[in-house]
């Protein structure tokens, strides 16, 4: 099986946010089918969307390598979210951990359960800033722009 470079976003705004992100990374690393290669620094951002009066988020991005099918990887990410206490009750609501697949090589996936590249990643500072740190030259397979170009468009440079 071919190993693929996969970028995921990690976010948390409940509990010990940094510990939740670190625990999620440790659980990913414990999975024999996933290798955590590189992790950005954590940044703090205000919530986007969802209910008012949420706590600020800590966000990071990680580069994984895996031969798993993206749908199987999504199931594993959701199992880690559940293990760390995430209960899906409200869209964009507060959560102890959120794990989103951003990119899987140059694949384009559009199923009811998974869209890759992540459909909103190019509009979100909390995704692009940490992604810029670890993968500035990676190209968005739909928009045909690098992460650095997408970041500059977002912040108006």
Q: Which residue has the higher pLDDT, 86 or 151?
A: 151
Each as own residue / partner, the long-range contacts of residues 107-112 (CB below 8 Å, 24 or more positions apart, any chain) are: 107/4, 107/70, 107/141, 108/141, 108/142, 109/70, 111/71
Task: Choose, from 100, 106, 110, 139, the residue flagged as catalytic.
Answer: 100
At 84-123, the pLDDT tens digits run 976 666 555 578 899 999 999 999 999 999 999 999 999 9
**Quick check: is 63 catalytic?**
no
Assess whether pLDDT exceeds 90 at residue 7.
yes
CA distances from 73 to 24, 62, 99, 147 (A): 14, 14, 11, 23
pTM: 0.94
- The token pair at 22 is 């670190």
Q: Give the pLDDT mean for 130-154.
A: 98
Selecting among 98, 106, 124, 137, the annotated active-site residue is 98
Tell me, yes or no, if 137 is annotated catalytic. Answer: no
Fold of 4-120: Alpha-Beta Plaits (3.30.70)
Q: According to the model, what pLDDT value does residue 54 have?
A: 83
Is 69 known to be catalytic? no
pLDDT in tens, 28-79: 999 999 999 999 999 999 888 777 778 899 999 999 999 999 999 999 999 9
In this prediction, residues 132-149 reach a mean pLDDT of 98
Any catalytic annotation for residue 98? yes
Catalytic, out of 17, 63, 95, 124: 95
Q: Which of 16, 33, 63, 86 is catalytic?
A: 86
């Amino acid at each position: 099986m071919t190993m693929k470079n996969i970028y995921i976003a990690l976010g948390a705004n409940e509990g010990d946010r940094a510990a939740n992100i670190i625990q999620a990374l440790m659980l990913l690393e414990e999975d024999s089918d996933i290798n955590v290669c590189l992790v950005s620094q954590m940044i703090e951002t205000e919530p986007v969307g969802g209910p008012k009066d949420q706590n600020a988020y800590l966000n990071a991005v990680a580069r994984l390598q895996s031969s798993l099918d993206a749908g199987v990887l999504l199931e594993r990410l959701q199992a880690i979210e559940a293990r760390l206490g995430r209960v899906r009750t409200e869209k964009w609501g507060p959560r102890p951990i959120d794990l989103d697949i951003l990119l899987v090589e140059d694949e384009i996936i559009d199923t009811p359960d998974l869209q890759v590249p992540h459909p909103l990643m190019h509009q979100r500072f909390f995704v692009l800033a940490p992604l810029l740190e670890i993968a500035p030259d990676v190209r968005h397979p739909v928009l045909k722009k690098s992460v650095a170009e997408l970041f500059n468009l977002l912040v108006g440079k």
